[in-house]
């Protein structure tokens, strides 16, 4: 009785709700995708076989399970399109993350150093773009970047260029799109970690013989590294699987896994291969992050 | 001639030597932050090997003084010099001054030894020497066993020691201590005060401490400057500050004191006589106070003045004290015990005299009292010697 009470107590509910949420909206869908990735494409609804069905009894169910195979995964490794898409996605996301960091770090730093009364307003300005749909904002970049768009018109008008630049439908446009869209995700955690820092640390560094620039590199930057890591992950992970930006702003040479997956899923109607693509993508992202976090936790422990 | 404070043994008092050259010198320094004047046209000399305390309530400008010496704030006008060199325009990282911060400001991503080595590394001191100096500092603050810990793995007292070791590692000409013991509990604070004094004596470094804790300043410092509203109210040794405060502000700020207002009636070689209205044995009578003091000051007979006397200098008696005429007492008054604060080592008696004025008298509890001889509502005589208190003009 008591044990039951404990289990169903407030604590259980409190901890249980987020777990339930993860279970229902992440783990179970993932299992479904995993299952589909072991199936074969078929002309039916839904377009794959075997379809698991327990209504015909367990023997029939087991028969269906035995039809599962790894063909889709083998196919992914044999077909250069896929691994080129993965590689290209990682490179594009990596470069875009680096660019976001180069722009976002000074922004976050300036915000954290701004007079206290300004900080709330600056924070608002960073969050403001979220009030408009992501899709619309990416569309807006088409209007800016296209041949007769605002950017080219402005540059022509001030005479920097004589011919309009081709930016839209190139990787450059994808980089611009990713940096623009994900900048707040990097700035916010970075700002949080920089703002928390005690100003007297910098004074202490100066007192002990550092110039301001050196104090930044020896004190501020190392202390902000967890914020940098958090921000970079928040940009890199969604950027790898990004579909909308390469689809709207990218060109034919822009190879990204999100787009490949879309084509596989909707144009080729090959759900099993698309699922396998998604599973591999998840592994590519989750495994290194888990290793990284594990290493960080061990580094913390080692000090003790 | 009035008594001055007796000579201090093993005397270190360069400030009394007119030939001594000041080590740190603030000259007509003013610092304004917008409309607020933090430091107001202040001049101050500090000598080598001194343990100097800046004492005052928060907002009095003491921290600003320290920050101007460290180089974090520049004076609006006036100059600060150290060891004969004008420091104006010298950035903090080039000043031979190190500071121990109130928050300790330990670098959280560095171990204890890295924190201590930090300043030496900036100077590109050879590695072997850095290592030796770090070890020396660690043993100085008794933290050898904690060299590889990170600051968050240390207790408050240990962090304080790391901060101290780090600020001493570069062997600064002056060590600045900004409320160094504020975050420690009372017991540890007292211990650390003695360690600081010991350390200062051994190293011979000039220490400048900023604190709002008068006991701390009294304990550690050779000399104290009491500050209020950007000005120095008095600079003196702890004993002088306590026994000869220059004003009611200081008298009240440092320790506990009885302040009685009266009118000066007569001056003589030996001192002054003062009449305090309404405090005599009968309500219409005045209380006659004779004060041994220097009468060459600003006051003259007929002026109003203040008699200031520390509670521990007031004696208590249940009978009429010897040599006191109960009808016309001098330096004595009868009253009723109104309140007793038993503090263990001492008891503070609040004695109400007839117009309601309360004089506090401290008695040392030299024996274990099971039953107190004095209780509430008891009639007692308070009496004191002519050298028990001082005369203040303001």
Taking only the tens place, the pLDDT of each residue in A50-69 is 777 767 777 777 877 777 78
- Give the bridge partners for B264, in sequence order: B274
> ∠ CA B168-B226-B230 to the nearest 5 degrees?
95
> ∠ CA A118-A122-A126 to the nearest 5 degrees?
170
pLDDT score for B76: 95
Residue range A138-174, pLDDT digits in tens: 999 999 999 999 999 999 999 888 888 899 999 999 9
> Do the domain assignments include residue A166?
yes
* Separation of alpha carbons B345 and B103, rounded Å: 34
Mean pLDDT of chain A: 89
B192: pLDDT strictly greater than 80:
yes
Inter-chain CB proximity B98 and A303 less than 8 Å: no
Which of A215, A218, A230, A227 is closest to A289 using CA atoms?
Answer: A230
Q: Which residues of A230-246 are buried (b: 16+ CB within 10 A; e: fewer)?
A: bbbbbbbbbbbbbebbb
**Class of the CATH-defined domain B14-252:** alpha beta
Confidence of residue B10 (pLDDT cuts 50, 70, 90): low
For residue A231, what is the enclosing H or E element? helix A221-240
* Separation of alpha carbons A223 and B393, rounded Å: 56
Q: Is some CB atom of chain B closer than 8 A to the CB atom of A207?
A: yes
> Do the domain assignments include residue A24?
no
- Give me the residue label for tokens 């299992």: A31
> ∠ CA B247-B252-B255 to the nearest 5 degrees?
125
- Give the residue with greater pLDDT, B387 vs A52: B387
B142: left (phi over 0), alpha (psi -120 to 50) or beta: left
Which of A210, A220, A219, A221 is closest to B170 using CA atoms?
Answer: A210
pLDDT score for A58: 78
DSSP line for B67-99 = HHHHTSS--SEEEEEETTEE-TT--GGGSSEEE
Mean pLDDT of chain B: 89
CATH number, domain B256-392, options 2.130.10.10, 2.40.50.140, 2.60.40.2140, 1.10.3720.10: 2.40.50.140
For residue A128, count other CB atoms closer than 10 A to its CB.
Answer: 10
- Which residue out of A193, A198, A208 would a mutagenesis test of the B interface target, given it has the greatest number of B Cβ atoms within 10 Å? A208
Which of A172, A175, A166 is closest to A146 using CA atoms?
Answer: A166
* Separation of alpha carbons A251 and A263, rounded Å: 15
Q: Which residues of B331-365 are buried (b: 16+ CB within 10 A; e: fewer)?
A: bbbbbebeebeeeeeebbbbbebbeebebbbbbee
CA B257 to each of CA B295, B306, B314, B374, B391: distance values in angstroms, whole numbers, following the listed order: 22, 12, 11, 22, 13
Which residues of chain A are modeled with pLDDT < 50?
Answer: 303-304
Minimum distance, in Å, between the CA of residue A230 and any CA atom of chain B: 17
For residue A233, give its domain range. 75-303
Asked if residue A236 lies in contact with residue A97, where contact means CB atoms within 8 angstroms, the answer is yes
Inter-chain CB proximity B93 and A203 less than 8 Å: no
pLDDT score for B2: 43
- Give the residue with greater pLDDT, A43 vs B85: B85
Q: Is some CB atom of chain B closer than 8 A to the CB atom of A197?
A: no
Minimum distance, in Å, between the CA of residue B121 and any CA atom of chain A: 9
Phi, psi of B50, rounded to the nearest 5 degrees: -75, 150
Inter-chain CB proximity B105 and A204 less than 8 Å: yes
Task: Show residues of chain B in contact with A214, CB under 8 Å.
Answer: 122
Minimum distance, in Å, between the CA of residue A207 and any CA atom of chain B: 5
- Give the residue with greater pLDDT, B17 vs B55: B55
Largest CA-CA distance found in chain A, in angstroms, rounded: 82
Could you list the beta-strand ranges (E) of chain A: 40-41, 48-49
Inter-chain CB proximity A203 and B72 less than 8 Å: yes
pLDDT score for A6: 62
pTM: 0.81
Q: What percent of chain B has pLDDT over 90?
A: 59
Q: How many domains does chain A have?
A: 1
B263: pLDDT strictly greater than 50:
yes
Confidence of residue B294 (pLDDT cuts 50, 70, 90): confident
CA B191 to each of CA A94, B351, B387: distance values in angstroms, whole numbers, following the listed order: 55, 35, 34
Phi, psi of B103, rounded to the nearest 5 degrees: -85, 5
Mean pLDDT value of segment B327-355: 88
Within the 62-81 window of chain B, which residues sit less than 8 Å (CB to CB) from chain A? Answer: 70-72
Cβ contacts below 8 Å, chain A against chain B, sum to 63
Largest CA-CA distance found in chain B, in angstroms, rounded: 81
Minimum distance, in Å, between the CA of residue A218 and any CA atom of chain B: 10
Helix axes A221-240, A80-113, angle to 10 degrees: 140
Residue range A207-227, pLDDT digits in tens: 999 999 999 999 999 999 989
- Give me the residue label for tokens 């740190």: B24
> Do the domain assignments include residue A211?
yes
Confidence of residue B11 (pLDDT cuts 50, 70, 90): confident
Question: Please, which residues have CB within 8 angstroms of residue B64's CB and are 6 or more apart in sequence?
Answer: B31, B38, B39, B73
CA A3 to each of CA A9, A17, A19, A291, B196: distance values in angstroms, whole numbers, following the listed order: 10, 20, 21, 37, 57
Asked if residue A227 lies in contact with residue A189, where contact means CB atoms within 8 angstroms, the answer is yes
- A226: closest chain B residue by CA: B109
Minimum distance, in Å, between the CA of residue B4 and any CA atom of chain A: 42
In chain B, what are the domain boundaries?
14-252, 256-392
Torsion sign (Cα): B346, B350, B351, B357? positive
> Do the domain assignments include residue A206?
yes
> Do the domain assignments include residue A266?
yes
Q: Is some CB atom of chain A closer than 8 A to the CB atom of B166?
A: yes
Asked if residue A247 lies in contact with residue A174, where contact means CB atoms within 8 angstroms, the answer is no
Please give the distance of CA B31 from its chain centroid, rounded to a whole number. 23
pLDDT score for B238: 94
Q: In chain B, where does DSSP find H-type helix?
A: 62-70, 112-122, 127-140, 156-168, 186-203, 214-220, 238-243, 248-253
Please give the distance of CA A136 from its chain centroid, rounded to a whole number. 19
- Give the bridge partners for B26, in sequence order: B44, B80
Which of A274, A283, A286 is closest to A243 using CA atoms?
Answer: A274
Q: Is A93 helix (H, G, I), strand (E, B) or coil?
A: helix
Inter-chain CB proximity A209 and B93 less than 8 Å: yes
Residue range B297-318, pLDDT digits in tens: 677 888 888 999 999 999 998 8
CATH assignment of the domain containing A207: 1.10.3720.10
* Separation of alpha carbons A17 and A28, rounded Å: 15
pLDDT score for B1: 37
CA A281 to each of CA A234, A257, A269, A295: distance values in angstroms, whole numbers, following the listed order: 16, 8, 19, 22
């Amino acid at each position: 009785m008591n044990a039951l009470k404990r289990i169903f107590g407030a604590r259980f509910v409190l901890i249980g709700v987020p777990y339930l949420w993860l279970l229902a909206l992440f783990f179970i869908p993932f299992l479904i995708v995993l299952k589909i990735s072991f199936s074969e494409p078929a002309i039916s609804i839904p377009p794959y076989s075997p379809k698991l069905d327990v209504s015909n009894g367990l023997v029939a169910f087991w028969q269906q399970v035995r039809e599962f195979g790894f063909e889709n995964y083998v196919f992914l490794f044999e077909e250069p399109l896929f691994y080129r898409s993965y590689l290209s996605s990682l490179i594009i996301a990596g470069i875009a993350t680096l660019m976001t960091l180069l722009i976002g770090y000074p922004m976050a730093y300036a915000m954290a150093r701004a007079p206290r009364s300004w900080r709330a307003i600056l924070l608002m300005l960073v969050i403001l773009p979220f009030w408009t749909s992501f899709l619309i904002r990416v569309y807006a970049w088409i209007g800016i970047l296209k041949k007769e768009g605002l950017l080219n018109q402005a540059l022509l008008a001030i005479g920097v260029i004589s011919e309009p630049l081709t930016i839209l439908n190139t990787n450059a446009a994808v980089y611009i799109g990713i940096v623009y869209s994900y900048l707040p995700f990097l700035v916010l955690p970075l700002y949080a970690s920089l703002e928390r820092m005690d100003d007297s640390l910098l004074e202490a560094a100066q007192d002990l013989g550092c110039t301001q620039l050196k104090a930044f590199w020896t004190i501020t930057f190392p202390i902000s590294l967890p914020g940098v890591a958090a921000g970079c992950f928040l940009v890199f992970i969604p950027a790898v699987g990004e579909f909308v930006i390469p689809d709207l702003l990218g060109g034919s040479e822009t190879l990204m896994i999100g787009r490949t997956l879309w084509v596989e899923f909707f144009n080729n109607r090959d759900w099993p291969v698309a699922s396998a693509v998604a599973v591999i993508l998840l592994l590519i992202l989750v495994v290194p992050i888990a290793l990284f976090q594990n290493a960080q936790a061990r580094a913390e422990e080692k000090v003790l | 001639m009035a008594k001055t404070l007796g000579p201090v043994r093993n005397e270190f008092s360069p400030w009394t030597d007119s030939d001594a050259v000041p080590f740190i010198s603030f000259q007509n320094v003013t610092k304004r932050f917008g409309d607020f004047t933090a430091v107001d046209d202040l001049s101050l000399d500090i000598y080598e090997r001194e343990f100097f305390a800046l004492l005052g309530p928060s907002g009095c400008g003491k921290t600003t003084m320290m920050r101007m010496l460290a180089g974090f704030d520049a004076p609006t006008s006036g100059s600060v010099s150290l060891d004969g060199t004008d420091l104006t325009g010298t950035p903090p990282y080039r000043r031979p001054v190190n500071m121990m911060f109130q928050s300790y400001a330990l670098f959280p991503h560095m171990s204890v030894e890295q924190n201590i080595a930090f300043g030496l590394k900036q100077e590109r001191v050879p590695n072997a020497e850095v290592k030796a100096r770090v070890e020396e500092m660690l043993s100085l603050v008794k933290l050898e066993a904690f060299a590889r810990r990170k600051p968050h793995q240390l207790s408050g007292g240990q962090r304080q020691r790391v901060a101290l070791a780090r600020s001493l590692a570069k062997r600064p000409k002056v060590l600045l201590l900004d409320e160094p013991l504020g975050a420690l509990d009372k017991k540890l604070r007292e211990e650390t005060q003695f360690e600081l004094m010991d350390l200062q004596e051994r190293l011979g470094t000039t220490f400048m401490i900023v604190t709002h804790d008068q006991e701390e300043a009294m304990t550690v410092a050779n000399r104290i400057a009491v500050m209020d509203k950007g000005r120095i109210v008095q600079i003196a040794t702890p004993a002088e500050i306590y026994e000869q405060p220059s004003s009611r502000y200081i008298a009240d700020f440092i320790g506990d004191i009885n302040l009685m207002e009266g009118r000066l009636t007569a001056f003589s070689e030996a001192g002054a006589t003062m009449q305090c209205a309404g405090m005599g044995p009968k309500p219409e009578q005045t209380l006659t106070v004779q004060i041994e003091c220097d009468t060459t000051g600003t006051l003259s007979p007929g002026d109003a003045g203040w008699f200031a006397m520390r509670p521990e200098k007031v004696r208590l008696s249940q009978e009429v004290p010897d040599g006191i005429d109960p009808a016309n007492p001098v330096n004595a008054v009868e009253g009723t015990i109104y309140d007793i604060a038993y503090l263990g080592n001492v008891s503070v008696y609040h004695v109400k005299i007839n117009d309601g004025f309360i004089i506090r008298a401290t008695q040392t509890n030299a024996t274990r009292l099971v039953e107190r001889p004095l209780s509430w509502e008891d009639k007692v005589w308070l009496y004191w010697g002519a050298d028990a208190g001082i005369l203040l003009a303001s």
